Amino acid sequence: MAQMTIQNKGSDTIVNLALAWAERYQTVRPEVSIAVTGGGSGTGIASIINGTVDIANASRAIKPEEIQAAHAAGIEPTEFVIARDAIAIIVHPSNPVDTLTLQQLSDIYSGKVRNWQEVGGEDRPIVALSRETNSGTHVYFLEAVVRLGDSDDRTLFSPDVLLLPSSEGIGAEVRQNPNAIGYDGLGYVTNDMKTVAVGLSPGGPFWEPSASTVNAEEYPISRDLYMYTAGQPTGTIKEYLDWILQPEAQRIVRDLGFVPISE
């Protein structure tokens, strides 16, 4: 039987999950191989628009200007929610800060708060880490946290925020820098970093990021994860996307620290 290849590109948040799915799908349909690459949500969506991939992975919804560009290219982007994710706030294990409000996080990332002492920590400078601008996680964090979900708010990341090209990069810096704070998808959190519980008001409650707090709609920084196709998928691509929503594939979502959609 002829070998078929599905090109799948985009979000770095999703890349490990997409690779795990591709590997498992090979055992289900050996004649289908799935080539998975990262590069960020913006890169994936641009690749769908210019016709170089079959499926784009995105950790944010497609933007109006991207839909416009797709329409100009004669493409109707079709959206699939394939999993959910909590964005964990991570610090060095030695950092005594256990809780932060969304407002405090906004103040840290916009540069209003620059010392850990101002949020209940030690007298140390805060080193804030972010993903780069082509990252869907960056876009989501800017809108949901820095701008506190207010679409009229024009607050930006402080110029002092260090922009790193990958989720792994943020984790590596947090592990070695006692002054650092970063954010990463739940699937990238490991035992050698500390997660900070997040609340909406100074009096709490504060929630740790987990599948149960996301599904209960408690944890305030959680989002859907997406795949996009050019038009309604058919044939091999449709079969693959249908499989992703099945329990077997959604179990892999849970195994990798994300939140299944079919709970």
Let me know whether 96 and 68 are in one domain.
Answer: no
The predicted pLDDT at position 187 comes to 83
- On the 0-12 / 13-18 / 19+ scale of CB atoms within 10 A, 154 is exposed
Let me know whether 232 and 144 are in one domain.
Answer: no
Instruction: Note whether residue 61 is domain-resident.
Output: yes
Instruction: Note whether residue 262 is domain-resident.
Output: no
Let me know whether 96 and 152 are in one domain.
Answer: yes
Start-to-end Cα distance in the chain: 36
Let me know whether 12 and 93 are in one domain.
Answer: no
**pLDDT-based confidence at residue 263 (cuts at 50, 70, 90):** low
Instruction: Note whether residue 118 is domain-resident.
Output: yes
CA angle 130, 58, 144 (to 5 degrees): 50
Instruction: Note whether residue 260 is domain-resident.
Output: no
CA angle 129, 131, 137 (to 5 degrees): 120
The predicted pLDDT at position 10 comes to 96
Q: In the chain, how many domains are there?
A: 2
Q: Which residue range(s) make up the domain with 29? A: 4-84+224-255
- Which CATH number do you get for residue 228? 3.40.190.10
The predicted pLDDT at position 1 comes to 60
CA distance 140 to 169: 18
Let me know whether 119 and 188 are in one domain.
Answer: yes
Q: What is the DSSP string of 39-62?
A: E-HHHHHHHHHTTS-SEEEESSPP
Q: pLDDT for 189-224, tens place per residue?
A: 999 999 999 999 999 999 999 988 998 889 999 999
Let me know whether 103 and 162 are in one domain.
Answer: yes
- On the 0-12 / 13-18 / 19+ scale of CB atoms within 10 A, 227 is buried
Instruction: Note whether residue 231 is domain-resident.
Output: yes
Let me know whether 218 and 240 are in one domain.
Answer: no
Mean pLDDT of 149-165: 95
Let me know whether 205 and 96 are in one domain.
Answer: yes
Let me know whether 135 and 186 are in one domain.
Answer: yes
b vs e for 3-40, b when ≥16 Cβ sit within 10 Å of the residue's Cβ? Answer: eeebbbbbbbbbbbbbbbbbeebeeeeeebebebbbbb
Mean pLDDT of the chain: 95
Let me know whether 129 and 216 are in one domain.
Answer: yes
Instruction: Note whether residue 168 is domain-resident.
Output: yes
